[in-house]
C-alpha cells in the first residue's frame, strides 16, 4: 500500500467510520491523510490490517500504558475533562515522533481484533432464525474470534427500543440496539439450545492476560464510554464462562473442527467485520468448504465484509442452497436492519 492509497484510506475512515461517532478520530484522520511523515510511519503496518484502527490503537495503547504527553489531555478515556479536538493533531504527530520506535513495533506486531460486544444484538435474532429453520441445537464456530466475547451472546440480555428484555435476565451485561428494516425477527424468550462453541483466530487474545486485555481496550475509541463498559462486563462474563478458543488460520482449521461436531446439530459458522482482513483466495476456499459441508449437513454461514458491508446469511438445509441478505448493520452494533421474513 502506497502513501496515496493510505491517504484515501484515512479520508474514508473519517467520513464513513468516524463521522457522528468520534470527533477526535475524525479530526485526526483528516489531518493524517495530508501528512506524509505519518503516512510513512503507517507503511510499517502489517499487510491486510485496517491501518487507521491499528495506528490509533497503538497510540491509545501507549497512553493507557502510562506514556506521559500533552496528547493525553484530548483523550476522554485518559482524562475526565478532555480538551476540544481542535489543536490535537500537532500533539498527535509529536507523540508519534517521540515514541516512533514503540508505535512502529506495535504496527508491525499487533492485529486489529476489536471485540464489539454490541454486535451480539444482531447475532441473537440471527441465531433464533437459524434455530427456527432447523430445530436442532446450535454448534457455533466463530472465525476471527479474538477474545471470544461474542461467543457469550447467550450470557447477555437484550432490548430493542422497548421495555421488553430478552435473553439472560440476570446478566451483568445488557445490550441495547435499534432495530430497523422492513421485517421484524422472531425473538425467542429463551435462547436456542447450544451444543457447542469454538472460536478460531490467528492470534487468540486472552482477556486474563494484562497485555492482551490492554490492547483490546485500546481498540475501543476514546469517546466510547458505553462500549468500554460493555467490554469490561463481557470480560467478567468470559472469566466466569470460558469457551474453547483455538489459535490458527480459521479457514484452514475448519475441517478439523468439524470432525468433533455431532451429526444431530445445526452448524452455525459466523464472523463479523473480519472478512476484510481475509485474503481473497481464503474467502473462496471458505465458501467452497461450506458448500461441501452443505451437501451432507445443515449449515448456516452468517457474515459481513466479504463482498460488501451488508450482513448476509447463506445456508444449506437438506442439501438445498439458500441466500439471504439481512441488511445493513452499524459497525459498533448501535443499530441493524432486518429484511428477511
Report how far Cα 67 is from the mean position of its chain's Cα atoms: 27
Phi, psi of 244 (to 5 degrees): -75, 125
Residues 127 and 97 occupy one common structural domain: no
pLDDT band at residue 48, thresholds of 50, 70 and 90?
A: confident
Q: What is the CATH number of the domain that holds 270?
A: 3.40.50
> Across residues 201-207, what is the average pLDDT?
93
* Number of C-beta neighbours around residue 212 at 10 A: 17
Residues 189 and 255 occupy one common structural domain: yes
> Across residues 179-186, what is the average pLDDT?
96
Name the strand (E) or helix (H) holding 183: none
Residues 146 and 193 occupy one common structural domain: yes
> Across residues 145-172, what is the average pLDDT?
96
pLDDT band at residue 131, thresholds of 50, 70 and 90?
A: very high
CA distance 267 to 113: 24
pLDDT tens by residue, 252-303: 999 899 888 988 999 999 999 888 888 899 999 999 999 999 999 999 999 9
Phi, psi of 245 (to 5 degrees): -125, 125
Please check the confidence at residue 3 and state whether its pLDDT lies above 80.
yes
Residue 316 bridge partners (DSSP): 299, 321
Nearest to 291 by CA among 265, 261, 269: 269
pLDDT tens by residue, 60-89: 999 999 999 999 999 999 999 999 999 999
pLDDT of residue 324: 97
DSSP reduced 3-state for 160: coil
CA distance 313 to 340: 10
- As for how many domains the chain has, the answer is 2
CA distance 239 to 109: 26
For 26, the domain range is: 3-109
Residues 89 and 31 occupy one common structural domain: yes
pLDDT of residue 301: 98
Cell numbers given for 320:
438445498
Please check the confidence at residue 173 and state whether its pLDDT lies above 80.
yes
* Number of C-beta neighbours around residue 15 at 10 A: 12
CA distance 133 to 126: 11
pLDDT of residue 168: 95
Residue with cell 490490517: 49
Cell numbers given for 137:
441445537
Cell numbers given for 179:
432495530
- 87 burial (CB, 10 Å; 0-12 / 13-18 / 19+) is exposed
Cell numbers given for 47:
499487510
- 112 burial (CB, 10 Å; 0-12 / 13-18 / 19+) is buried
pLDDT tens by residue, 231-252: 999 999 999 999 999 999 999 9
DSSP reduced 3-state for 30: helix
pLDDT tens by residue, 108-120: 999 898 789 999 9
Q: Which of 60, 75, 109 is the last residue of a domain?
A: 109
CA distance 34 to 279: 29
pLDDT band at residue 181, thresholds of 50, 70 and 90?
A: very high
Could you tell me what percentage of the chain is helix, strand and coil, using 3-state DSSP and rounding each to the nearest 5? 45, 15, 40
Q: Which of 46, 80, 109 is the last residue of a domain?
A: 109
pLDDT tens by residue, 19-29: 999 999 999 99
Residue with cell 435474532: 125
Mean pLDDT score across all residues of the chain: 95
Residues 157 and 299 occupy one common structural domain: yes
CA distance 10 to 339: 31
Residue with cell 444484538: 121
Residues 87 and 158 occupy one common structural domain: no
pLDDT of residue 147: 95
Residues 62 and 132 occupy one common structural domain: no
pLDDT band at residue 96, thresholds of 50, 70 and 90?
A: very high
pTM, two decimal places: 0.88
Residues 99 and 53 occupy one common structural domain: yes
Residues 85 and 197 occupy one common structural domain: no
Residues 291 and 166 occupy one common structural domain: yes
Amino acid at each position: 500500500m502506497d502513501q496515496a492509497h493510505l491517504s484515501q484510506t484515512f479520508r474514508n475512515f473519517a467520513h464513513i467510520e468516524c463521522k457522528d461517532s468520534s470527533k477526535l478520530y475524525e479530526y485526526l484522520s483528516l489531518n493524517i491523510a495530508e501528512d506524509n511523515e505519518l503516512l510513512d510511519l503507517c507503511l510499517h503496518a502489517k499487510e491486510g490490517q485496517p491501518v487507521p484502527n491499528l495506528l490509533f490503537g497503538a497510540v491509545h495503547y501507549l497512553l493507557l500504558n502510562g506514556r506521559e504527553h500533552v496528547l493525553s489531555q484530548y483523550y476522554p478515556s485518559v482524562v475526565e475533562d478532555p480538551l476540544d479536538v481542535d489543536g490535537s493533531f500537532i500533539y498527535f504527530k509529536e507523540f508519534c515522533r517521540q515514541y516512533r520506535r514503540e508505535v512502529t513495533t506495535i504496527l508491525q506486531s499487533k492485529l486489529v481484533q476489536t471485540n464489539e460486544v454490541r454486535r451480539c444484538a444482531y447475532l441473537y435474532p440471527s441465531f433464533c432464525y437459524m434455530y427456527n429453520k432447523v430445530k436442532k441445537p446450535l454448534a457455533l464456530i466463530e472465525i476471527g474470534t479474538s477474545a471470544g466475547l461474542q461467543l457469550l451472546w447467550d450470557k447477555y440480555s437484550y432490548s430493542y427500543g422497548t421495555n421488553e428484555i430478552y435473553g439472560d435476565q440476570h446478566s451483568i451485561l445488557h445490550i441495547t440496539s435499534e432495530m430497523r428494516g422492513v421485517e421484524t425477527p422472531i425473538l425467542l424468550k429463551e435462547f436456542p439450545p447450544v451444543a457447542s462453541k469454538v472460536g478460531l483466530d490467528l492470534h487468540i487474545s486472552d482477556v486474563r492476560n494484562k497485555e492482551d486485555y490492554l490492547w483490546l481496550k485500546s481498540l475501543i475509541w476514546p469517546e466510547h464510554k458505553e462500549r468500554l463498559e460493555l467490554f469490561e462486563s463481557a470480560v467478567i462474563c468470559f472469566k466466569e464462562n470460558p469457551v474453547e478458543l483455538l489459535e490458527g488460520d480459521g479457514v484452514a482449521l475448519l475441517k478439523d473442527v468439524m470432525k468433533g461436531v455431532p451429526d444431530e446439530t445445526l452448524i452455525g459458522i459466523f464472523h463479523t467485520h473480519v472478512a476484510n482482513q481475509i485474503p481473497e483466495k481464503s474467502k473462496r476456499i471458505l465458501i467452497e468448504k461450506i458448500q461441501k459441508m452443505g451437501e451432507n449437513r445443515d449449515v448456516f454461514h452468517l457474515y459481513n465484509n466479504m463482498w460488501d458491508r451488508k450482513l448476509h446469511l447463506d445456508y444449506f438445509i437438506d442439501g438445498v442452497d439458500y441466500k439471504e441478505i439481512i441488511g445493513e448493520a452499524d459497525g459498533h452494533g448501535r443499530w441493524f436492519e432486518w429484511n428477511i421474513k
